[in-house]
Amino acid sequence: MPSAASMEPIDRALAPWWTPIRGLLGDQVLYDAHTHIGRNDPDGYRQEPDELIDALDPLGARAVTFPMHEPGGYPEPNDRALAAAAGAPDRIVAFCRVDPRADALAEATRCLDAGALGIKLHPRAEGFTLEEPAVEDLFALAHERRRPILIHAGRGIPALGENAVTLTRRYPDARLILAHAAVSDLAWIWSEMPDHPNLLVDTAWWSPGDMMAMFKLIPSGQIVWASDSPYGRPMNSAVTHLRFALQAGVGADALRSIAGGQIERVLAGEDLEQHGRPPGEATPISPHLERVVDHLVGAVSQVVTGNEPTEPVSLARLACDAGGDDEARPLLDGIHTLIARAGELAEEETGEVRFPPSAVLLTAALSIARTPAAPGPV
């Protein structure tokens, strides 16, 4: 995985883009709803609590954290997450992670009694569906305690939305957060969400089509910001995700809810603030920006599949050289700078990391290109 030091250039490159968005949040503290700590995940990613806090520092953010995949079981990793939260109570809070086939109810009860504020489930890593009997037991516990459950709902699993809707209807005081924009079920679940106010999604995703659909279709009060650290970089996620929200027409109060206000209410067991769907895009994307987005999506897709992104990156840089497009010119210039910086980082990378810092910066550039309604760098 990328080292913490290798990710710092991303924070520096995106800091000017973060400043105007930070200004829109007023006194709302940025609160990351989805981060990980751990050292034994088979995918090779690692993160210690101090590394997580270092990644949050440029944003002044707090975070929910929970164990990464631990093939040896979760009691000890849960204890480490609880200890990390106790050691930095103003920065992180802990969820416990449980495997529904490994005495999950007892472990979740133990952890909630010890100070955990929620439960994490990962159907892909642990190989289960929401029809597993222990899952309903966990929802009953969360309902009784008015606690949240965060469930992986991204790539690599079949759709789970029908079970999610059923469980949130049956246990209305349990708050269910479907991670990764609920991409497995986004095509239809958005239409059910207004009738299930305890069903939320987090923003830990990157694809511009999915992100714009999420922010346009799902009521803003049912969306919480998340980075998926260390798989995502908090600075990149904060800049890009909140820009997508602004592009979709999300207003100031709803933006503050997404950025941290709603997850604070979830964690406190309070009634949730209601924000409906935004009005939609008021600022269209220019043809030049659209070309940049298309080429950079192609580039990132190449990286994800283990291929060289040189050609689509080159085309994206050339698309930034559009002449006479005065309105988009400052944004195109800023995007060109980010693409160039990604190229510099790529020259220093060894190819051993699956998704290196240069690729993270490309996701930032494509997201900025897709969101001209958001403010430019300061």
Average pLDDT (139-166) is 92
- For residue 181, is pLDDT > 90? yes
Per cent of the chain over pLDDT 90 is: 88
Span 33-75, pLDDT tens digits = 999 999 988 878 899 999 999 999 999 999 999 999 988 999 9
Q: pLDDT at position 123, please?
A: 93
> What residue spans of the chain are helical by DSSP H?
4-24, 49-56, 75-87, 104-113, 123-126, 133-145, 161-170, 186-192, 208-217, 234-247, 252-256, 262-268, 287-304, 310-319, 329-348, 357-369
Which residues are bridge partners to 36 per DSSP?
66
Structure-block tokens of residue 125:
């890593």
Span 339-348, pLDDT tens digits = 999 999 999 9
Q: pLDDT at position 354, please?
A: 83
CB of 234 within 8 A of CB of 62? no
Name the average pLDDT for the chain: 95
- For residue 325, is pLDDT > 70? no
Q: pLDDT at position 323, please?
A: 76
- 274 occurs within a structural domain: no
Whose structure tokens read 């975070």? 63
Q: Which helix (H) or strand (E) holds 152?
A: none
Q: pLDDT at position 361, please?
A: 98
Span 94-130, pLDDT tens digits = 999 999 999 999 999 999 999 999 999 999 889 899 9
Question: Are residues 306 and 215 both part of a single domain?
Answer: no
- 106 occurs within a structural domain: yes
- 281 occurs within a structural domain: no
Question: Are residues 11 and 145 both part of a single domain?
Answer: yes
CA–CA dist 336, 374 (Å, integer): 17
CA–CA dist 67, 51 (Å, integer): 14
Q: pLDDT at position 287, please?
A: 93
Question: Are residues 169 and 251 both part of a single domain?
Answer: yes
Average pLDDT (258-262) is 99
- 375 occurs within a structural domain: no
How many domains is the chain partitioned into structurally? 2
Question: Are residues 238 and 339 both part of a single domain?
Answer: no
Provide the terminal-to-terminal Cα distance of the chain, rounded to the nearest Å: 31
CA–CA dist 310, 365 (Å, integer): 15
What single string gives the DSSP state of each residue in 175-231? EEEESGGGTTTHHHHHHHGGG-TTEEEE-----HHHHHHHHHHS-GGGEE----BTS
Average pLDDT (300-323) is 94
Which residue, 268, 298, 317, sits at the end of a domain? 268
- 260 occurs within a structural domain: yes
Q: How confident is the model at residue 159 (pLDDT cuts 50, 70, 90)?
A: confident
Question: Are residues 252 and 295 both part of a single domain?
Answer: no
pTM > 0.95: yes
**Residue 292 domain boundaries:** 287-369
Question: Are residues 133 and 66 both part of a single domain?
Answer: yes
Per cent of the chain over pLDDT 70 is: 99
Structure-block tokens of residue 202:
């987090």
